[in-house]
Amino acid sequence: MKLGEVIKILDAELLADCGNLDLDVCSACGSDLMSDVMAFVKENVLLLTGLVNPQVIRTAEMMDIKAVVFVRGKCPGENIVQLAKEKGITVFTTKHSMFTACGKLYSSGVTGKGAAD
């Protein structure tokens, strides 16, 4: 699924557009614990999180994750949005809860599983 479509499905608001809305999202990882995210390596991953701090962007950077969704209407500060832009990471926010956001994406076909190997 294209990232642009993910935004529609999640009724999300774009906060940092790094020009990759045609990115093909194959799998997603929803977590507030960054080390759990890092145990999960797969290509073209979307990160959903309720955690709001710069380390979310750093984690995405280390993992080559190109899109981050903040759930439950959380809005990252300008410093976080700026860091994301520097790293080429598209950021958006959705009013949906983690559960609902993941459910919507899963039932729309984003079902790829991550693996540590």
Partner 1 sequence: MSGKVIKLHFTIDAHDFSLAGEASSSTKKMLNQLGISPLIIKKAAIAMYEAEINAFIHANGGEADVEIGVDRIVITVRDEGPGIADLDLAMQEGYSTAPDKVRELGFGAGMGLPNMKRYSDRLEIKTEVGRGTTVTMTVYVREG
Nearer to partner 1, 13 or 61 (CB): 61
Is 81 among the residues that bind partner 1 (CB under 8 A)?
Answer: no
Is 16 among the residues that bind partner 1 (CB under 8 A)?
Answer: no
Nearer to partner 1, 79 or 97 (CB): 79
Nearer to partner 1, 37 or 110 (CB): 37
Dig out the tokens for 97 from the structure.
């809860």
DSSP conformation letters of 12-75 = -EEEE--S-TT-B--EEEE-S-HHHHHT-B-SSEEEEES--SHHHHHHHHHTT--EEEE-TT--
Site residues (CB under 8 A) for partner 1? 32-36, 38-39, 41, 49, 51, 53-56, 58-59, 61-64, 79, 116
